[in-house]
Structure 1
Amino acid sequence: MAAMTMLDYINQEQEALTKILNDYDFSSDHKLAKMNTVTILATGSSYNACLSAKLAFERIADVTIVIEEPYNFNHYGRLISGTDTIIGVSQSGKSASTIDAMKKFSDRNIQQLVLTSDLESPIAQVVDQVLDLNMGIETVGFVTKGFSATLLQLMLLAIKVGISKNLIDEQRLSELTQELQEAISQIETVINKSNAFFEQQENLLKLGGRFVALGYGPNWGTAKEFETKFTETVRRPSQGFELESYMHGPYLEADWAHTLFFIETPSVNQSRSQALAEYMDSYVGKVLKITTDKSADKDVLGLDVTLSECFSPLLLIIPFQLLAYRTATAKGIDLSKRIFDDFDSVLKSKI
């Protein structure tokens, strides 16, 4: 049997997320009703998924969330006053820094949850409550299905917390789950549109020297996951910025070698994104857009979907996953061939 590829996992996302939503237990939990001030510990794609889900989680569950990089937090950080819950996120369950940080607070009267795809992993042994990502084990290091599963699980956990706090009644639950169901049902169509978009832009992406993605709101997380995926696979300088932060200095490096991706969804910030895109167009090699809106422009991937801004990262991340894989493949990079094979064993980044 052939080894699974990154593309295989991208193509499994619609089925996997449908299963996660259908299997989810939305029953009230008195422990979750106490959740008000939350610290989430995550790194890499898990961190990006948490950043993408933060807006939905805070609005739906009426909580305050701080997301921390676990290694830095473990050595230099401190919990904000009133923290009642710590959530550790590690798809593999082997992130040494996340495990160490969770252990640090095991003797405190703080609710500890872990979200992982491996219920027998080391991180599952250090907390009382383990939440299954319910998507199986992803064997490819450049996670795609796992990112989307983490994102959806955090959104569903937010709904469950909202129910537990009596903030969500049956009608509201039905509205939220229907919106998620409709979004998930569009994933295959988004993949097809992304493939067509890549084929139009293949030469540009294959030869690109520097890639930058700009997003706002929850799609700051989408931009950061773009950065992670393109860095891991395309292996050219790639960076994701929050829209406004790019306008406070990073734009000064822009030149003809840059390809800028603007990530847009209807919002009070969309006009600002459009104004920046128009301004930067004459200073960079290419400006591309990925949006939930409809578009006939060849440089705009218009998904043509109706989706709240809170949930939009579920679909807006798919094109970047696909573009990362196809750009790397077009450049002749064999993603099945491991590089830096001794990295984890030497640096002890994973158990």
Structure 2
Amino acid sequence: MLPKLVIFDVDGLMLDTEARWQEAWQIKGEQYGIPDLGKKTFLKCVGRNGAEVEAIIYEDLKDYENPLEILKEVRAYGSQLLDERIDIKKGLVELLEFLKSQSISIAVATATIKTTTYERLSRLHLLDYFDYILCGDEVQLRKPHPEIYQKVIEHFHVLPQEAMVLEDSYVGVEAAYRAHIPCVMIPDLAMPQDKQKQETMAIVSSLLDVIDLLKDEMINNQEPTMLTYIKETPYQLEWNVYHIQEITQELVQLYLQNDYNSIWLIACGSSFNGAQCAKPFLMKYLHCDVKVISPMTFVYSEHQMTDKDFVVVISQSGRSTNCIQALKLLKDMKKQAVGLTGCIDSPLKEYGDRVIDYSMGIEKVGYVTKGITVLSQYLMLFALEVSLKKGLTNQKDYQAIIEELKAIPSRHQIMQKQTKDFYQKHQCEMTSMDISFLIGFMQSYGIALEGALKMAETIKMPCMAYEAEEFVHGFNLQLTPRYTVWCIDGCLKGSQRLIQIYQAINSVTPHVYAITNSPDIDDDHAIRIPFEMTEPLLMPLYILPVFQIIAYQVSEELQTWNTHPRFSQFKNYIQTKK
């Protein structure tokens, strides 16, 4: 059910004012010899009232003379910049038009004073879209107090659950939460943290995504879906890159305690696949062998380790019984039992000597999407930090990878769009898949493993992944025109061989597709990667959503979420979660 009322914040949400303010803070800071005034201090002030901003300034600029004079100059310069130009945020007009088309009431609740708010909205020809506007000088208490949102819903005589708030700031999200109004966060300068993830119904990349949320009826009390977390992933990836040292520090310190020759990553399911996606990157930047092994293979047979082997057990949920058994065995062998998890408050911490959070945030849907991508990234960030500290990578190359990692969130969003367009074009074929193979080399083999798992567990069809060359040495003999095959180009060694394999498969079945930029594959059978890659080993971070979205879209259309009735007996015999 659509909301009866949508309430918009202004600065940073509808209007790109925060970027102009940050520019003003940074420029004035540099004039006073304060290089981080715009990069750090300003971010603390976003969404705060005047008194709170002054308190922050006093604290951050306590070593400087006349901090309030600096603030006064910043405010004057920021106002000047905003008088010169204000841009509206992407998707704003489209969203407003959509809301009008659905006869949904539209309101503004902003901390900005009335005269400024009306002047800016009028200047940008937005004023007529809104049915009601409530400003900061018309309420007693500022966000994060819920007063402003409470007054708006009182004006429209709607219940909190019948409305929806759109916010970009921490204080705005908290205000909506305290007013008990469902809130969607569209982050501007400040990336969401665990608190915002708990206080919002969704976190999306732009106002255009809000239209998708409304169309998908992902509002009010409806449970999140795979798509919710696919859309959240870019923000977690971005946050993690900017906090690389903080989130990897514990694992990096453990690794640097010894001169290891190899790394063992013990994991199952999507965690196994995520480790496989990251494995080539780890091997390249750590100059060591990396072994990805399932927990029970480790427990039953392959546990002949030396002191030169660094062993990590990975469980996203922290509840996998086989991972717990692996940690128990490590302790029995008097080896260090290190666990890596996306849920630190889980049974895993009872069995590990050290259990580390890989900074995934929250994912409540069992069909893992955000978790595997963030795990792959975390392992790569860990490798990068160790590589720099051990002198295996110089500062220049390290920074180049960091810059490409910063571009990953936008690439993830681009590949979401590419996949949705591809799906619409091939909807009939996608919803008619019977048996599927996914093949690739190196990091693309990891993507193939996860793609096969995701489609098998959601669409409920036979779906298998193979290293590409292994596929053509026997498994290909069963091919018929009814089969679907996905070829994932790793854009490195083996790329040309993969294209040859694609062409061979195409001679048997028309249902063969590639994720590639090769001109040898026509557009009708390709999902293109429309950007330059400096380090193709980072590909899993933006190619994984391709199969996540296809799995979700097909499962949603065919309604294949439920298992066979007989499957209810399965858990009477085997428990996989503690």
State the TM-score, normalized to the length of structure 1: 0.93
Does the CA-based 8 Å contact 1:213-1:227 persist in structure 2? yes
- Paired residue for 2:329? 104
- Paired residue for 1:305? 531
> Cα distance, 1:39 vs. partner?
1.3
The 3-state SS of whatever aligns with 1:347 is coil
Indicate how the Cα distance of structure 1 residues 292 and 311 shifts in structure 2: closer, same or farther if over 3 A, else same.
farther
User: CA offsets, 1:244-286, max 9 Å, x none?
Assistant: 1001100000001101111013223111111111111121241
Match of 1:15 among 215, 228, 235: 235
Q: How far apart are the structure 2 equivalents of 1:68 and 1:27?
A: 24
- What stretches of structure 1 move > 3 A for 4+ residues in a row? 26-31, 80-83, 107-112, 292-296, 334-346
> Cα distance, 1:335 vs. partner?
6.4
- Paired residue for 2:549? 322
The 3-state SS of whatever aligns with 1:276 is helix
Does the CA-based 8 Å contact 1:116-1:132 persist in structure 2? yes
The residue correspondences of 1:201-350 to structure 2 (distance < 5 A) are 201-291=426-516, 297-307=523-533, 308-334=535-561, 340=567, 343-344=570-571, 346-350=573-577
Does the CA-based 8 Å contact 2:230-2:369 persist in structure 1? yes
Indicate how the Cα distance of structure 1 residues 17 and 69 shifts in structure 2: closer, same or farther if over 3 A, else same.
same
Which is helix-richer, 1 or 2? 2
The 3-state SS of whatever aligns with 1:88 is strand
Match of 1:5 among 200, 225, 228: 225
Match of 1:162 among 377, 387, 393: 387
The 3-state SS of whatever aligns with 2:331 is coil
Match of 2:369 among 123, 131, 144: 144
Unmatched 5+ residue regions in structure 2?
A: 1-220
Does the CA-based 8 Å contact 1:213-1:241 persist in structure 2? yes
Amino acid at match of 1:251: N
Q: How far apart are the structure 2 equivalents of 1:324 and 1:154?
A: 25
Does the CA-based 8 Å contact 2:319-2:348 persist in structure 1? yes
Indicate the RMSD between aligned Cα atoms, in angstroms.
Answer: 2.3
Q: How far apart are the structure 2 equivalents of 1:339 and 1:138?
A: 28
- Paired residue for 1:31? 254
Does the CA-based 8 Å contact 1:220-1:242 persist in structure 2? yes
Indicate how the Cα distance of structure 1 residues 37 and 345 shifts in structure 2: closer, same or farther if over 3 A, else same.
farther
> Cα distance, 1:330 vs. partner?
2.0
- Higher alpha-carbon Rg: 2
> Cα distance, 1:219 vs. partner?
0.8
Q: How far apart are the structure 2 equivalents of 1:210 and 1:196?
A: 23
Matched, 1:189 2:414: yes
The 3-state SS of whatever aligns with 1:106 is helix
> Cα distance, 1:47 vs. partner?
0.4
Bigger drift between 266-275 and 88-97 goes to: 266-275
Does the CA-based 8 Å contact 1:117-1:136 persist in structure 2? yes
Indicate how the Cα distance of structure 1 residues 196 and 335 shifts in structure 2: closer, same or farther if over 3 A, else same.
farther
Q: How far apart are the structure 1 equivalents of 2:388 and 2:499?
A: 37
Amino acid at match of 1:24: I
Q: How far apart are the structure 2 equivalents of 1:226 and 1:83?
A: 33
- Paired residue for 2:210? none
Matched, 1:49 2:274: yes
Amino acid at match of 1:242: E
Q: How far apart are the structure 1 equivalents of 2:572 and 2:531?
A: 44
Does the CA-based 8 Å contact 2:255-2:310 persist in structure 1? no
Indicate how the Cα distance of structure 1 residues 94 and 339 shifts in structure 2: closer, same or farther if over 3 A, else same.
farther
> Cα distance, 1:156 vs. partner?
0.8
Match of 1:122 among 318, 341, 347: 347
User: CA offsets, 1:13-46, max 9 Å, x none?
Assistant: 1111111212221669553222332211100110
Indicate how the Cα distance of structure 1 residues 4 and 278 shifts in structure 2: closer, same or farther if over 3 A, else same.
same
- Paired residue for 1:77? 302
Q: How far apart are the structure 2 equivalents of 1:293 and 1:120?
A: 45
Bigger drift between 111-120 and 273-282 goes to: 111-120
Q: State percent identity of aligned pairs.
A: 24
Q: How far apart are the structure 1 equivalents of 2:565 and 2:392?
A: 47
Equivalenced residues, count = 351
Q: How far apart are the structure 2 equivalents of 1:79 and 1:302?
A: 43
Q: How far apart are the structure 2 equivalents of 1:255 and 1:187?
A: 33
Amino acid at match of 2:448: A
Bigger drift between 86-95 and 335-344 goes to: 335-344
Q: How far apart are the structure 2 equivalents of 1:97 and 1:135?
A: 21
User: CA offsets, 1:182-214, max 9 Å, x none?
Assistant: 122211111011000001111011111111111
Q: How far apart are the structure 1 equivalents of 2:373 and 2:572?
A: 27
User: CA offsets, 1:78-136, max 9 Å, x none?
Assistant: 23445431111100000111111111112556444321111121112222322212122
Q: How far apart are the structure 2 equivalents of 1:182 and 1:262?
A: 24
Indicate how the Cα distance of structure 1 residues 130 and 163 shifts in structure 2: closer, same or farther if over 3 A, else same.
farther
Indicate how the Cα distance of structure 1 residues 77 and 334 shifts in structure 2: closer, same or farther if over 3 A, else same.
closer
Indicate how the Cα distance of structure 1 residues 165 and 106 shifts in structure 2: closer, same or farther if over 3 A, else same.
farther
> Cα distance, 1:343 vs. partner?
4.6
The 3-state SS of whatever aligns with 1:310 is helix
